[in-house]
Chains A and B, each alone.
Chain A
Amino acid sequence: MKRFFRLWPKTVGVSRKGALNRRRVRQNGERMQETYRISNLKMLEAESLQIIRETAAEFERPVMLYSAGKDSSVMMRLAQKAFYPGKIPFPLLHVDTTMKFPEMYEFRDRMQRETGVEMRVYINREGVDAQANPWDLGTVKCCSLMKTQGLLRALTEGGYDVALGGARREEERSRAKERIFSFRGRAGQWDPRRQRPELWSLYNCQVDKGESMRAFPLSNWTELDVWQYIHLEQIPIVPLYFAREHEVVERDGQLIPIGAMTRLKPGEKSVRMKCRFRTLGCYPCTGAVRSEARTVEEIIQEMMVARQSERVTRVIDHDCDGSMEQKKREGYF
């Protein structure tokens, strides 16, 4: 026991120093630690992947709506990521109004060839037989027949119990209210006053036969996010998003492109000007904006100074106050 105490002072000095060194090392180690931070875009991406995987796992017959637009392009990439290295385990569905821009059809077919996704196309024959067009029917009826009815029929006939859509909450104020998993009754209608509470990332995906849901993996993305993501991921998009000369007619403050069947009103004259499309729908009802942007970078630059929201170029949204809500209640996406 005596020896024990005698030796102590020497060992004391050593262990004391050792203790100090260990602490320092530990502190240094912490400073050099890897980061656990990811960018906002990667956070949005992670959330979207979770939603897409839930959709595939919880439903029997999922389908992803595809419009050939920029949001569809992003959503398709996200679906590829969600199941990589596997294939997307559900088909894509294009509800074709037959009045899309020719470039959109070319792009859709190219994407199908290049990615090998299963692309299904649905056209509402009833509308085609009636030769539906916005000039004779008016935009409201044409849209209801070709898009809303077309979509509902496509979903019913396909027996899909969930449809993934690229809608974003930022786009429009009634969309700002919609859940990520949004319940639709037997007629495909949305009841905004009876939405299911949606907590955390726990989605209630229970539906009875005949009922269905819409799932929106891009809910929390903004237009700028979408463009930045397209830029970073080098996602192919329809060339109509880039500025070039188009023949357009100025109508109610919109630049409406002249397509194959466009009819000019008395007194209207078409002009050629450099412009691009911020969103893509049917050519008779999609306005262009004056622009010089020929690359994604230039579009993002334009966005940074943009003072108008994107849906301003969609004629159908402005038919009357709350018109989007009305269309959604009827089953529009």
Chain B
Amino acid sequence: MNSVDELLKKTTEATLLRFISIGSVDDGKSTLIGRLLHDAKGIYEDQLAAARKATKNIGGGEVDYSLLTDGLKAEREQGITIDVAYRYFSTPNRRFIIADAPGHEQYTRNMITGASTASLAIILIDARLGVLTQTKRHTFIASLLGIPHLVVAVNKMDLVNYDQAVFNQIREDYGAFAAKLNFKDLVFIPISALKGDNVVEASESMPWYVGPTVLNHLETVYIESDRNLIDFRLPVQTVIRPDLNFRGYAGQLAGGVVRVGHEVMALPSGRVSKVKKIVTYDGELEYAFPPQSVTICLEDHIDLSRGGMLVHPNNLPRMDQEIEAMLVWMDDEPLQPGKAYLVKHTTNRVRGAVSTLHYRVDPNTLHREEAQSLAPNEIGRVTLDLAAPLICDEYTRNRTTGSFILIDLLTNATVAAGMIIERARHRATAPSPAHLRREHSLVTPEDRVSFFGQRPVTLWLTGLSGSGKSTIAYQLEQRLLADGYAAYVLDGDNLRHGLNRNLGFTADDRQENIRRVAEVAHLFNEAGLLVITSLISPFRAHRELARQAIGADRFIEVFVDAPLAVCEQRDPKGFYRKARAGEIANFTGVTMAYEPPEKPEIHLPTHQMEVKQAVEAIIDHLRSQGVILPRAPVTENGL
């Protein structure tokens, strides 16, 4: 019985990864899946025997693994994949659900079906053909559907003599295209699905490749942070009322954590109550999180039914009757702007029409084109006018509350998939509300300078993780206070616990992170304080935004400079180790570039100096710039 318990324990600890294999026709998707299943011992012998038998009928030699996955007769006869097939296999560490998607453009809607629930995509490229239109199209769709992790498998390496130059060229071509899109991580692997090179076992034919095999990567890619545990959302599926004493709202959590005793708000009514209990067949829970399916009882009887949503009152979704979205058209009948469709969103159904078609995207070039309609498989940005407001979030924040489908009212066909986007172009560039008037303080900046004995500036410390930013920042803060100056450190990591807790590490979130820190620094400077920020802030453009927000005359860029090797050796927080192990995506210096300042006001090569020297160098600069006015050191007893 021991082994059963062990197995069950392993199952409990194992994580689940849903992935999709995509790419152009004949790039070998089904073959790769067949190979994975076969080599991971996931294929039962009789299924293998059936495939062998069928191969003989077609007259092939080696076992054709695609015959294992192409489940429809028409597919096997034509040798193509028409519809997405789901396959299951597991290794001791992870369970996998594979969506094997068709490559033909006419079956794109079936590919999207598989992509919508995947958190990783393997995109196959035929080494002989390189990056094709369909490759780009699928990559764009994968990005649009918010698949965070991408693996580019350059297949059929055996047919190009395992040539590294071919692989490098494709990596360069593809990288240039993918750079314009939004993926958490991107990995390139040269493989031969047919021969098994780098699929499960490392290839002996490509000693020049030192990265993981496909299965290796699938087993280790870090997916824990893919879920939204911040914004509590419970779309109500049904109300359970077995008798007069029990009234429970049943649904599957789409985000955040909910707890007994928490204050919650019912939407759309806006009524507030508290969570009385969280009920399941297996007993009551203290708290619940996605993707749990639970039933929530509230302290008060309030108006809430299917289509409504429970949220936290201090973290509200949008309630918009007009939404902007990216739309993938899937029906043979093209989009008709102005025509009413049924919008299905979470557990809600509402009528709506496309009021504006802003543009169509060419997935090949990512260019925006003017369009009157969307034909099958075309993608565009639209504004939808709805008969009632949707309780929703942006798709990039929440794949469940940010997605919807359009249904034709006459044919009942699912005609389009939609992903809700922000209406404003960007938070940072959104104009300030016109109706608000600025109030003016009676205290002038000069008053503050004379009060504190200092001219407020922001010392913007930038550099790699482990370069010494925080150490210098805190020592400098202590030194300044000891000398009688008012200074405060804004630490990037610390702020992510509070003010910036809802931000991730995508390019957009990083920019928003910088914007908020810069705004806070600006306020502190306005209050008269010296500010020391400690953020990696890897991008020049972002630091430029900070300079503008804070004011060029108050912004002092400090480049805390140490070679990557030194930082990695210091690794005070163990981040480099994790990043190398693939547990942290987009880690500066490892998987993402750092753009050093071109003309920093202060340059501190920390591998060649002591912390004290670095602090002195900054103090000297502040003195020379007249930021801090000379003052006698204050003694211990305050005299």
Contact = CB atoms under 8 A, between A and B. Distances in A.
A309 interface: yes
B291 A202 contact: no
A204 B95 contact: no
A194 to B, nearest CB: 9
B11 A39 contact: yes
A174 interface: yes
B289 interface: yes
A6 B638 contact: yes
A193 B74 contact: yes
Interface in B79-120: 82-88, 95, 97, 109-110, 112-113, 116-117
A325 interface: yes
B472 interface: no
A228 interface: yes
A86 B240 contact: yes
A47 B291 contact: yes
Chain B's interface: helix, strand, loop or mixed, by majority? mixed
B499 to A, nearest CB: 14
Contacts of B8: 228, 231-232
A81 B281 CA distance: 5
Contact of B46 (A7, A206, A308): A308
A201 interface: yes
Contact of A219 (B4, B86, B405): B86
B553 interface: no
A204 B69 contact: no
A287 to B, nearest CB: 12
B475 to A, nearest CB: 11
Contact of A196 (B68, B227, B229, B413): B413
Contacts of B292: 38, 42, 46
Contacts of A169: 86, 88
A308 B638 CA distance: 84
A53 B237 contact: yes
Interface stretch (B316-324, B434-442, B476-484): B476-484
A56 B14 CA distance: 32
Contacts, number: 213
B458 interface: no
Of listed A9, A23, A41, A56, residue having the most chain B CB within 10 A: A9
Nearest to B242: A86
A201 B407 CA distance: 15
Contacts of A47: 252, 291, 293
B403 A200 contact: yes
Interface residues of B, number: 92
A87 B281 CA distance: 12
Given A40-B11, A53-B237, A199-B116, A308 B414 contact: no
B250 A53 contact: yes
B330 interface: yes
Interface in A188-209: 192-193, 195-202, 204, 206-208
Contacts of A307: 44-45
Nearest to A303: B7
Contacts of A49: 252, 293
B636 to A, nearest CB: 7
Nearest to A9: B634
Contacts of B76: 322
Given A46-B292, A204-B414, A309-B46, A57 B116 contact: no
B113 A39 contact: no
Contact of A173 (B15, B68, B342): B68
Contacts of B45: 307-308
Interface residues of A, number: 77
B273 to A, nearest CB: 20
B229 A36 contact: yes
A170 B83 CA distance: 16
Interface string B218-245: 0000000001010000000110111000
B95 A40 contact: yes
A46 B293 contact: yes
Contacts of A80: 281
A81 B74 contact: no
B83 A177 contact: yes
A137 interface: no
A330 interface: no
B383 interface: no
A87 B242 CA distance: 7
A297 interface: yes
Contacts of A41: 11-12
Nearest to B405: A202
Contacts of A7: 638
B72 interface: yes
Given A43-B16, A50-B237, A201 B400 contact: yes
Given A6-B634, A12-B482, A197-B113, A228 B403 contact: no
B25 interface: no
Contact of B88 (A1, A8, A220): A220
Contacts of A174: 71-72
B415 to A, nearest CB: 9
Contacts of B494: 23
Interface string B189-231: 0000000000000000000000000000000000000010100
Interface string B1-29: 10110011001111110000000000000
B280 A84 contact: yes
Given A173-B69, A199-B417, A307-B44, A206 B407 contact: yes
Contacts of A325: 71-73
Interface in A52-90: 53-54, 56-57, 80-87
A177 B97 contact: no
A194 B70 CA distance: 16
B404 interface: yes
Nearest to A326: B73
Given A86-B241, A86-B242, A220-B86, A200 B11 contact: no
Given A53-B251, A169-B86, A199-B113, 4 more contacts: A36-B289, A40-B15, A86-B242, A202-B405
Interface of B: 1, 3-4, 7-8, 11-16, 44-47, 50, 54, 68-74, 76, 82-88, 95, 97, 109-110, 112-113, 116-117, 227, 229, 237-238, 240-242, 246, 248, 250-252, 257, 279-282, 287, 289, 291-293, 295, 306, 330, 342, 344-347, 399-400, 403-405, 407, 412-414, 417, 451, 453, 478, 481-482, 484, 494, 497, 634, 636, 638-639
What are the 7 closest A-B residue pairs judged by CB atoms, nearest first? A173-B71, A49-B293, A86-B242, A81-B281, A206-B412, A199-B116, A309-B44
8 contacts: A9-B634, A12-B481, A45-B293, A49-B293, A177-B83, A307-B45, A308-B44, A309-B47
Interface of A: 1, 5-10, 12, 16, 23, 26, 34, 36, 38-43, 45-47, 49-50, 53-54, 56-57, 80-87, 169-170, 172-177, 179, 192-193, 195-202, 204, 206-208, 219-220, 222, 228, 231-232, 297, 300-301, 304, 306-309, 312, 321-322, 325
